[in-house]
């Protein structure tokens, strides 16, 4: 045992003490600054820098907590519906690509079948992804007019809108049919952009929440957690689609939170915090920031405003 000041102090320890007492920094010797003073001065500076680092880290952690610990990547997806020819598609991307080249968001354009090959060619080597607007869950068969999930996967499609209100309304797609499409999409490496939402009549009856929960439960039925965590869900208040009306920020947040809470009940917190939930009711440049600057909303599914490169780019660049 070493006791300071005693005769039992070992020689190596004495030498160490002497070296600290006598050593002076050569660069500072002309100022007669002892080594200890120089050492502790720099140590103090180090502590101050460390304190600032901790403060900045705390701010960043608070940001992570607000946006979710898994740092869900923001998604802005455009749905062209039945618009644009292949020539229109070339013109669109000739303008659009340069406007969003510095974006770190996940940018997706879901285009008509006839435009997919052209669109894929136009966005090669860019940060833009191409999706479909629908798919058939079967690999092949006597289904005139349909396009199979395998066909889309084979040409490089990575996303597909599934269960859009217009498909449910005009093509009578049921919740069970949507579930088949969701599972088939994942099996072939396509990420579903699942659409859920209530009609104006359902909203007025006070059953909007129940309608959304039923759609979520059916769509996720028998879906493995590893697939579920990759899902993109778009809340689309049907009464706001194409009408120019938009749900209030509070209504949009409430619905998106409801969706995540339901996923949490089904799969637990880890999966719920990875699922991206978008707002999809008449998103435009003038309201994008107000909607997107909320912790429960992870981006948007954009309809009419995605048809023009400048307006869609403004939405993608909403925070710049």
Domains in the chain (CATH in brackets) are: 10-67 (no CATH), 71-316 (3.20.20.70)
Q: Is the pLDDT of residue 58 over 90?
A: no
* Cβ-based burial of 187 (10 A; exposed 0-12, middle 13-18, buried ≥19): middle
What confidence category does residue 196 fall into, taking pLDDT thresholds of 50, 70 and 90?
very high
In tens, the pLDDT along 138-182 reads 999 999 999 999 999 999 999 999 999 999 999 999 999 999 999
Q: Is the pLDDT of residue 220 over 90?
A: yes
pLDDT at 282: 86
d(CA 117, CA 90): 11
Q: What number is the average pLDDT over the span 121-145?
A: 97
Q: What number is the average pLDDT over the span 216-244?
A: 92
In tens, the pLDDT along 3-32 reads 444 444 444 444 444 444 444 444 444 455
Measured torsion, CA atoms of residues 81, 85, 90, 94, in degrees rounded to the nearest 10: -50
d(CA 170, CA 165): 8
With b meaning 16 or more CB within 10 Å and e meaning fewer, what string describes 267-305? beeebbbbbbbbbbbbbbbebbeebbebebbbbbbbbbb
pLDDT at 9: 46
Residue 148 has what DSSP assignment?
A: B
pTM given for the model: 0.78
What confidence category does residue 55 fall into, taking pLDDT thresholds of 50, 70 and 90?
low
Which residues belong to the active site? Answer: 164, 236
In tens, the pLDDT along 180-193 reads 999 999 999 999 99
The average confidence (pLDDT) of the chain is 86
d(CA 250, CA 248): 5
For residue 285, give every residue at least 6 positions away whose Cβ sits within 8 Å of its Cβ, in sequence order, or none.
305, 311, 314, 315, 318
């Amino acid at each position: 045992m070493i006791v300071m000041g005693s005769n039992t102090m070992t020689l190596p320890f004495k030498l160490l003490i002497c070296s600290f007492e006598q050593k002076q920094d050569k660069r500072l010797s002309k100022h007669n600054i002892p080594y200890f003073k120089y050492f502790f001065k720099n140590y103090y500076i180090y502590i101050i820098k460390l304190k600032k680092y901790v403060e900045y880290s705390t701010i960043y952690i608070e940001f992570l907590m607000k946006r979710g610990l898994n740092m869900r990547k923001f998604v802005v997806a455009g749905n062209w519906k039945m618009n644009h020819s292949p020539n229109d598609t070339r013109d669109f991307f000739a303008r659009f690509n340069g406007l969003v080249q510095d974006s770190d968001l996940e940018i997706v354009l879901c285009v008509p079948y006839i435009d997919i090959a052209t669109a894929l060619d136009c966005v090669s080597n860019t940060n833009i992804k191409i999706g479909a607007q629908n798919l058939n869950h079967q690999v092949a068969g006597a289904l005139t007019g349909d396009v199979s999930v395998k066909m889309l996967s084979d040409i490089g499609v990575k996303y597909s809108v599934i269960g859009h209100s217009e498909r449910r309304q005009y093509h009578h797609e049921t919740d069970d049919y949507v579930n088949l499409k969701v599972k088939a999409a994942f099996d072939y490496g396509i990420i579903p952009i699942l659409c859920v939402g209530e009609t104006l009549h359902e909203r007025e009856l006070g059953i909007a929440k129940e309608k959304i929960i039923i759609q979520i439960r059916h769509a996720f039925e028998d879906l493995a957690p590893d697939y579920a965590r990759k899902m993109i869900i778009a809340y689309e208040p049907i009464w706001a689609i194409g009408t120019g009306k938009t749900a209030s920020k509070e209504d949009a947040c409430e619905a998106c939170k409801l969706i995540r809470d339901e996923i949490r009940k089904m799969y637990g917190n880890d999966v719920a915090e990875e699922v991206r939930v978008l707002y999809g009711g008449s998103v435009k440049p003038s309201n994008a920031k107000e909607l997107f600057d909320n912790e429960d909303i992870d981006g948007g599914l954009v309809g009419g405003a995605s048809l023009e490169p400048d307006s869609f780019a403004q939405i993608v660049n909403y925070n710049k």
